Structures are given as structure tokens and as C-alpha cells.
Amino acid sequence: MISVKDVSKSYKDIRVLSDVALTIDEGEILALVGETGSGKTTLAYLIAGTIKPDCGEIIVRGRMVVDINRKEFLKTVGIVYQSPRDSISHRFTVFEAIAEPLHIHGEFDDTSPGRIKDALREVQLPVDEYFLQKYPHELSGGELQRVAIARALILAPDMLIADESTSFLDPSVQAKVLRLLLDLQNERGISMLFVTHDIGVARKVSDRIAVLHDGRIVENAPAHRVIANPEHQYTKQLIGVAKGKTDVVV
Amino acid sequence: MHIKQFQEFAKDKLGVFGVVLLLLLLMTAILAPIIAPHDPWDYSAQHLQPPSKEHLLGTNDCGYDLFSELLWALRTSIAFGISVAAITCTIGVVLGVSAALIGGMYDMIVMRIADALLAIPTIMVLILIAAYFKPSTTVLVITLSLVMWQTVARGVRAQTLSLKTKLHVKAARNMGAPTIYIMRRHIMPELFPLYAMGFVTKARTAVFMEAGLSFLGIFDPSTKSLGIMMSYAMRYPHFDIWFNWLLPPVFALSLLIISLGLISYAVEGIFDPRLRRNNVTPI
């Protein structure tokens, strides 16, 4: 579905990504693993089409991303961010937050309240008027992240990018949100790019793991193979760190 | 953190008192044509009358009814303050937001003009213009607005620069939101505290300046003004007229400035985290 070919990206003089190449197939979950500053969020945003590469190509279903109408392309990608408290305006109610993509793409109409309630049901949240009018500060972290997931899915995107979407949540809520993301991906059959610094979580959710180190992909293979037979020293270190802590049960 | 501004404001007793006082003064000013017992420009009454049933505050040296004159002068002061505050805030917000969003040379030019205006003493400029050109009230309102927008613009620009980097703004942009949408839904509502604070502060300054210029005798003499009333009353120190001619405009002006000051203080206390009472420690 998505093919990234020799993509590089710098911010001023700092090289963030160097000759990165990877693919994401239809319905596949690819986990992008790396430490903070490894360039994984930049790569995710490049794939989402929100920033442009300095060189290289990103091809979606045979078409170069730069040739696709930007607004139309952004409609096909849903992003769930690390901190739902920051990614949703504190001035928006639950209804307004989920309706935002519909407003932006001119799709808000009489059917929208129904669509919003359906999206809330999908993420297992209440659909009563009282809940719809709640503000972010009135919701728990888990509830708010579910609202963010509903917002990301309201336009029925082809791909979901989860950018450290569970790392701000406490372990029990993290497990529930991960389970929800997996169920939704499974039901909808969409591709998912799961960005995380935790290779333990990546193993549990993904079909394939790509390890990013200093802006380069150092390992890219099926999840079970990366965990069982890591080739790169950095991957071994990440696995060692993950084994040193309690795994998240999904 | 989500702040329920109106609830916070309602807890501030002085702020609420300021609002009530301002509303009373505003109602008095609006209803001046109805509640004023005499035409404030009618000078047919006997001059320098003491207070009576016919003339509640007596009459002045020309035979004007002082109570009617006071009501109309209050109207002028409030209208002047609101007009200057509205124009100043509009200019400040438009220039501040656009400078932050457009950036580059445009930002630099706007901010250098703002810096230059900050260095100029506004009251001196106004005195010179009023003394030499004898402009109408409308021209004075516009002139004052043109030299007072810089602090609003600087505050708005700084806040917009910070808001631009917020994740919810980036998220909207990543969804494909155009700049106009981001301005309308994400930037402008967040700037409300700055408009509110700027508006009250500028209105207070403008009311004070109008009274000051009138008192100096360089404001439009055809207009009823608290400053003009005080200025004329001061010409008769040998008559016992201070309590019915001098004191009422001083009292009205003081109430107006106090009410705006109390509101300004309360609004600032809510929106400035350093001043916020019952401060909540962020987690």
C-alpha cells in the first residue's frame, strides 16, 4: 500500500532520517520502534503526508504522495497522538472534537451526529448527550484517548498512525487502548503504523517491526523474527530493556 | 488546564462589584436622553443656581443644568472609552495574529512600528495634535487608537506564536485544516483573555485621557465632557460651588475608572497564572 524509497529529512543542519526505505502492506500493522530522537515521528509524519522529504519518494497505491491532492490525501490518514490532552483543544466538547475532521473536510451534515455516535460506540464510549457535551478535563486519559481514536477514524481512513498513543496512559488503560486499536484495525482491515519506543509493546501489536536508529532503519522483519533473532546490536539492546520490565498484557 | 473563566470571575467579589458599577454607569449613560431633566445645551436658566428640585445639581455660569450636563458628559466619556478600546483591540489583534502567522519581513515591520510607538509618549502626541489641529471627537478617537494598539499587538503576537506550536493546532493542520479554520477555531478563542484584558485596560486609559484633555481645554469644546465640567468649575474657586459643580464629575469619573480598574484586575487575576488566586499546581 505504502512504499517509502530512500527518504531523507533534515531540520536545518540536523539530519533526522537517512535513506530510509520500507513498505506497509494493505491491512498490515507495522511497528516503528526507536528511542526518542531516532526519527520515528518524523518518518510517521512523512508517511502521513504532513511534511515533505528532502529527497526520496513516498508512493501510496502506485501514486507519488506529492502528486496527490494534499487535503484529499490527509483525509485517508488518521493520526492518534501521544497525549490526548494536548492533541484535543480544551475548548472542544467530545462532540466537537470528533466532528472536527468532518468540518475541516466539509462533510458535516445532518447525518454527522449519527456518525459521531457510531464512532463513539466503536471505541466503547457512551453516546448520551451528557457525555457528548463533556470537555476534555472532565474525561480520564483512557476515555480521552478513545475520543482521539474516534476522531482519527471518523473519516474512515485507509491508514491509522498511532504515534506513541499509549505511552501516556497507565498500564491497565494502556492494555485496553491497545486491545481497542487492534480490534478496530482488525474489523476495518486498515493498515496501521504503530510508533513506539517499547519493542515489547511492538511485539504484541504488530505483524512486522522496523527498528529505527539514528535516522536509519537497522532492522525490518516480521515481529516474531525480530524478537527471536535480532540482527542488529541496537535491537538486542531494546529487547534487553523490554525484558527488564513487566510486559503489557494485551 | 481548562479554566472556567466566568465562574472564576464570579468568585472575585471586587470584579463583580466593578461589573455592577460599570453596568449602572452604562445604563445611566445610555438612558441620559430620557432621564436628563433638561436639555444639556439649553442655557436659558438663571446662572449659578444652587441645587433645587428644578435643577438637582444647580446650574453653571452659563445657565446649563449641571445634572443633565453630567449625564451627557458621562455618556461622552464611556462612548470615547469603548470606541478607543474597540478600535485599538481590533488593530492590535489583526496585526498581532497576522504578524505571528505570516512572520518574516511583515512580522519585523509590524513589530518595529510597535516598538517605535512604545517609545513615543502617547499623551504628548495627543496634546500636540489636539492643541494644533483642534480635531473632532471622532478624529481624536481614531488618533488615540492608532497610537495605542502596540501593547495589544505584542501580547497577541506572543500568544499566537506559542499557540502555533500546540499539538491541537498541529493536529488540525495534519487533518488538512486551512489557516482560516485554525484561526477561527483554535487561535482566536484562546486569545479571548487578551482581548478582554486589553479592552478594559485601553478603555480605562482612554477615559482618563479624554478627561485630561478636556480639563486642559484642548478637547472638542462643543462636546459635554467630565473634564470640561471640572475645568470650568475650577474657574470659580471663590464661589461655594465645589460640592454641586466640581465634585459630581470628579465622583463620576472616579467611579468609571474604578469600575474598569476592578474589572481589569479581576480579569488579569484569572488569566495570568502568576496572579491566579487559589492557584492549582499543574500535575
Q: B258: domain CATH number? A: 1.10.3720.10
CB contact under 8 A, A137 and B2: yes
Amino acid B21: pLDDT: 94
**Chain B CB contacts of A70 below 8 Å:** 176
Is residue B52 one of the residues assigned to a domain?
no
Q: Which residue of A has its CA nearest to B173?
A: A50
The share of chain A scoring above pLDDT 70, in percent, equals 98
CB contact under 8 A, B176 and A74: yes
How far is the alpha carbon of B83 from chain A, nearest alpha carbon, in Å? 29
Domains and CATH numbers, chain A: 1-67+199-250 (3.40.50.300)
Q: What mean pLDDT, rounded, does chain A reach?
A: 87
Name the residue of chain A whose CA is nearest to B5's CA. A91
pLDDT given at position A151? 94
| Cβ contact, residue pair A88, B174, below 8 Å | no
A100–B186 CB contact, under 8 Å: no
Residues B26-39 pLDDT 10s: 999 999 899 888 88
Contact criterion met (CB < 8 Å) for B2 and A79: no
For A24-41, what is the mean pLDDT?
89
The distance of B192 to chain A (nearest Cα, Å) reads 12
Are β-strands A29-33 and A191-196 bridged in parallel, bridged antiparallel, or unpaired?
parallel
Read off the pLDDT of each residue in A43-63 and give the average, rounded to a whole number. 87
In a domain, B136, yes or no: yes
Mean pLDDT of chain B: 85
Measured between CA atoms, the residue of chain B closest to residue A69 is: B176
Interface test with B, best of A73, A85, A91 (most B CBs within 10 A): A91
More confident residue, B247 or A247: B247
**pLDDT tens-place string over residues B5-18:** 677 788 888 989 99
- CB-nearest to B176 from A86, A90, A105 is A105
How many CB pairs lie under 8 A apart between chains A and B?
A: 49
Q: Is the ipTM of this complex over 0.85?
A: yes
In a domain, B276, yes or no: no
pLDDT reported for residue A117: 94
Minimum mean pLDDT among A89-98, A165-174, A226-235, B64-73: which range? A165-174
Q: Is A101 on the interface with B (CB under 8 A)?
A: yes
Given a cut of 60, whether residue A210 has pLDDT beyond it is: yes
Mutation pick from A104, A135, A151, A159 vs chain B, by most beta carbons of B within 10 Å, is A104
How many domains are there within chain B?
1
pLDDT of A209 reads 93
- Indicate the pLDDT class of residue B22, thresholds 50, 70 and 90: very high
Distance from CA of B173 to the nearest CA of A (A): 8
| Domain limits for position B214 | 14-34+64-271
- pLDDT at B191 (0 to 100): 86
Cβ–Cβ of A50/B167 closer than 8 Å? no
Residue A11 dihedral angles phi and psi, to the nearest 5° = -110, 110
Asked if B168 is an interface residue toward chain A (Cβ–Cβ < 8 A), one would say yes
pLDDT bucket at A245, cuts 50 / 70 / 90: low
CA distance B188 to B175: 19
Q: Which residue of B has its CA nearest to A45?
A: B174
The pLDDT assigned to A165 comes to 82
In-domain check, residue B49: no
Residues of B in contact with A160 (CB under 8 A): none
Tens of pLDDT, residues A100-129: 999 999 999 999 999 999 999 988 899 999
Between B51 and B105, the higher pLDDT residue: B105
- Report chain A residues whose CB lies below 8 A from the CB of B168: 86-89
User: Nearest-CA distance from A45 to chain B in Å?
Assistant: 9
Write out chain B residues lying below 8 Å of A79, CB-based.
Answer: 171, 174
- State the nearest Cα–Cα gap between B175 and chain A, in angstroms: 6
Supply the pLDDT for residue A250.
41
In tens, the pLDDT along B228-258 reads 888 888 888 777 777 888 899 999 999 998 9
* C-alpha dist (Å) from residue B90 to A103, A138, A175, B157: 27, 34, 49, 13
Does residue B55 form part of some domain?
no
Mean per-residue pLDDT, B115-135: 85
Would you call A137 an interface residue with chain B, using a CB distance cutoff of 8 Å? yes
pLDDT over threshold 90, residue B227: no
Tell me, what's the pLDDT at B102? 86
Question: CA of A61: how far to CAs of A24, A53, A91, A153, A158, in Å?
Answer: 11, 18, 37, 20, 11
pLDDT recorded at residue A241? 82
* Per-residue confidence (pLDDT) for residue B283, from 0 to 100: 37
What is the CA B192 to chain-centroid distance, rounded? 17
Q: Is the pLDDT of residue B109 over 90?
A: yes
- Sheet containing strand A63-64, edge to edge, reads A14-24, A2-11, A55-60, A63-64
Interatomic CA distance for residues B224 and B40, integer angstroms = 8
The structure's pTM equals 0.74
Name residue, grid cell 499566537.
B160
Residue A160: which H helix or E strand, with range? strand A159-163
The percentage of chain A sitting over the pLDDT mark of 90, rounded to a whole number, equals: 34
- Contact between chains at B190 and A91 (C-beta distance less than 8 A): yes
